[in-house]
């Protein structure tokens, strides 16, 4: 399972990128994107996905 970033909601603040333990978040066409091939939703490392905790926008990061 992976998460995805909703382009229309993302403000490109970048708060999510440095907290991702799998380095799955990167800039993409003016906003950010999550690579579904490497996103683990932080399972086995944290209780909650770290990007969700860092993101200040409601419904920006959602299940893929």
Q: Tens place of pLDDT for every residue, the chain, 64 residues?
A: 899 999 999 999 999 999 999 999 999 999 999 999 999 999 999 999 999 999 999 999 999 9
Here the tokens at position 64 are 């893929």
**CATH code, 17:** 3.30.70.20
pLDDT at 1: 84
In a 13 Å sphere around the CA of 22, the CA atoms on its Cβ side amount to 19
pLDDT at 34: 98
pTM of the model: 0.93
The range of the structural domain enclosing residue 18 comes to: 3-63
Domain count, the chain: 1
* CA–CA distance, 36 with 26 (Å, rounded to integer): 12
> Can you tell me whether residue 49 is helix, strand or coil?
coil
Contact 33, 26 (CB under 8 A): yes
């Amino acid at each position: 399972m992976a998460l995805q970033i909703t382009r229309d909601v993302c403000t490109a603040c970048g708060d999510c990128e440095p907290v991702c333990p799998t380095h799955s978040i990167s800039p993409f066409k003016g906003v950010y994107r999550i690579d579904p091939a490497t996103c683990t939703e932080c399972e086995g490392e944290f209780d909650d996905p770290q990007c969700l905790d860092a993101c200040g926008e409601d419904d920006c990061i959602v299940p893929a």
